[in-house]
Structure 1
Amino acid sequence: SYPSLLLAIIIAAILGPSMTNTIITIALVCTPPFIRLTRATAMVELQREYFVASQVMGAGVLRLLFVTILPNCMAPLIVQATMIFSSAILEAGAIGFLGFGVQPPDAEWGAMLGTARQYIQSNVWLAIWPGVAIFLAALSINLTGDGLRDALDPKLKQVI
């Protein structure tokens, strides 16, 4: 029930600053939405007629899972992955900006913004370019996710 950014900051503060700990933090924060979506989609698919028909025909549990249910859960999961990926970029940037993420000399946009803070009066470009890079990366991934949602959601397709 915690906001994802707050949870990411707490986990990063506990684990300490490093590249590995940043990856672990982002993975832990981004996992619950996938679990919730997979469960909800699977619960809907379990009520469909083709699943009941597969059960009646004697399909095994693994076949039901990997052939019947999981392929029909993939479209929402792919869209969710693109949406979560952009928020992961923002969270990694925030963690790096606060000093809990990747440490210099390794390059990370949030750490670059944090370092540029002290030079903002004399050289504003040190802060602008990493900020623009974070913005463009998150925006492009969000737009890709919107396009994938439009392409993969059968409810949005209109019959002409």
Structure 2
Amino acid sequence: MRLIGLAGWSGAGKTTLLAKLIPCLIGQGLRVSTIKHAHHRFDVDQPGKDSWLHRQAGAAQVLVASSQRWALMTELRDAPEPSLEELLGQLAPVDLVLVEGFKRDGHPKLEVRREANGKPWLHPGDPMIRAVAADTPNPAGLPQAGLDAVEAVAALVLDHAAPWRS
């Protein structure tokens, strides 16, 4: 598996870009998975549902399955948050993993930046940023594509994704 992260400030367009990028990469014959770092209190379950009741009762893991998909929820309780490396180990093998969040981790990244946010560039402080998707030129001269140039961003992703050490 190869991986690359999309790093940027909130509102830069990371999720929007990923939603366009995934079908573009799949269209090139790649199997793609994603890992998204979420807010501390996120929940995929709904209060009152059977799986929610199982978790509230103290189940360490709840696996919900149907003919369309399955999902495994693991309660951390007092355990530390898993690292990106640990989470990658949970994925089935694919050609490419796209990581959203985990911007402080040491994996190759593509910076996503929107000038209207008024936020500074991340790449001067992060040597793992290899390329940029932005609406203004980056001052370091890193390889760059426009935010809406999905095929050009896909090329940058493929050029700069690195093998994950499993």
- Is the shorter-chain TM-score for this pair beyond 0.5, marking a shared fold? no
TM-score by length of 1: 0.27
Structure with the larger strand share:
2
TM score, norm. by length of structure 2: 0.27
Structure with more helix by fraction: 1
* Larger Cα-atom Rg: 1
